[in-house]
Amino acid sequence: MNKLFAISQAVITDAIRRKVVWAVVVFAALMSIAIPALPSYGVGIVDGVFRQVAIALMWVAALIVALALAATRLPVEIERRTVFNVVARDVRRWQYVVGTWLGMFVVLGLVLVAFTVAAIAVGWVSYSRPMFLLFEATFAVWLEIGIIMAFTVMLSTLFGPVTSVVGGLVLAFVGHGVVSFLHLSELERAPAWFPSLDVFNVINPVALGGGVSWVYLVAMVIAFCGWVSLFMFGGSLMFAGRDL
């Protein structure tokens, strides 16, 4: 595990020092300032709509950061041969894949926390109250995008950045397409037997309700573990079979 964490730490340090990650955060934070002034929402932006838009913005920003990191890390490491110094040591291929994903997952969390703090600050100024409930949505987005990140990392063990990004985007949208697949009304919950990412959709409970329960949060974590395990296992197998 020490080796896995060592790889994660290197990924975190490397990503944090790259300006692109923080450029996305700053841009998203600036966009959150514009929320109260958005047109096309009818009369004014009430605080519930503010939270909805903030969550949507958070999700998109997180997706951009996730795909940018996850789709490029392994292909670049392989192309530049920086992976040789790691894999030639007594480091298993699965440790490299999982450690890389874990580091990116931590960076994603830091980005989301930074954005959420900014959004809460904007909401506090605009609506005179702190919307700490947004952190529940942050947690859900973090888990969901972490899954998409794991899938993208899995693809990147064999394919280039473009294919990996496309794959990640497909999962992001297909993961919420159960309503279409099963011809459900959009107000219905996705059935439990159909694997989807809808379990991480907490927009209405956070934006318009009182949030979700602890049990629901635990359920999200369990679903997250299932998805990530699947993709990391697949990614490790794919990477183990690859000639470097």
3-state secondary structure of 107: helix
Q: Which is nearer to another protein, 84 or 132 (CB)?
A: 84
72 CB burial (10 A radius; 0-12, 13-18, 19+):
middle
Which window, 12-20, 22-30, 122-130, 155-163, contacts another protein (CB under 8 A)?
Answer: 12-20
With CB under 8 A as the contact rule, the residue among 28, 29, 59, 159 that binds another protein is 59
Distance CA 115, CA 93 (A): 33
With CB under 8 A as the contact rule, the residue among 34, 125, 162, 182 that binds another protein is 34
Q: Does 187 bind another protein (CB under 8 A)?
A: yes
The nearest distance, CB 191 to another protein, in angstroms, is 8
Helices (H) and strands (E) in the chain, counts: 10, 0
Distance CA 73, CA 91 (A): 18
Quickly list H helices, 17-46. Answer: 19-33
CB atoms within 10 A of CB 181: 11
With CB under 8 A as the contact rule, the residue among 39, 44, 128, 183 that binds another protein is 39
The nearest distance, CB 126 to another protein, in angstroms, is 15
In 46-96 the beta strands, taken as DSSP E runs, fall at none
The nearest distance, CB 29 to another protein, in angstroms, is 14
Which window, 15-23, 110-118, 122-130, 161-169, contacts another protein (CB under 8 A)?
Answer: 15-23
Q: Does 91 bind another protein (CB under 8 A)?
A: yes
Q: Which is nearer to another protein, 182 or 213 (CB)?
A: 213
Q: Does 188 bind another protein (CB under 8 A)?
A: yes
Q: Does 52 bind another protein (CB under 8 A)?
A: yes
Q: Does 106 bind another protein (CB under 8 A)?
A: no
Q: Does 10 bind another protein (CB under 8 A)?
A: yes
Q: How big is the site for another protein, counted in residues (CB under 8 A)?
A: 84
Q: Does 192 bind another protein (CB under 8 A)?
A: yes
Q: Does 225 bind another protein (CB under 8 A)?
A: yes
Cα-based distances in Å from 183 to 19, 166, 188, 235: 43, 25, 10, 32
Distance CA 149, CA 118 (A): 24
Amino acid symbol at 148: I
Tokens representing residue 96 in the block: 């490299």
